[in-house]
Structure 1
Amino acid sequence: EFRLASRKLFHYAFAAILRPLRSLSYSGIHLYVNDSLKWFFPYLAAIISDWPEACGICATYGSQILYIYTTFV
């Protein structure tokens, strides 16, 4: 019962945090880039998994980039 409630709370909070980005992905946002007005449509993709699985998806496991990232984080 507690685990179900904590799962629901996590998903509700995550949806509340991402709601502004989701609305912008349909309507777009105007931003100035190099003194030129551009129309952007933000796209959000999230991979929530354990570290080795996420590294395998990103193809960075054992690479120098991963070493630098984990050293300074």
Structure 2
Amino acid sequence: MLTHVRATSGDVSPTALDLRFNIGILLISDDKAAEAADELQPLHDDLCVVYGPDHELTREVADLLARLRLAADG
């Protein structure tokens, strides 16, 4: 699905951003922290460009990444 959305609407379209976020959440819920971080870090980078670092979704993804890092370190 994401591949189709990326091809038709681009990687930073609202639909693609939403799908990428949901994929990250699903990976977290499936105990795949490394894969989630691999999905969420580039998403966070794109959100910073598109919406800025203070946007609600950008902050939410940053928080998820911070929690993933803490869990990996602990």
TM above 0.5, yes or no, is no
Greater Rg over alpha carbons, structure? 1
Question: How would you bin the TM-score normalised by the shorter chain?
Answer: under 0.3
Question: What TM-score, normalized to structure 1?
Answer: 0.25
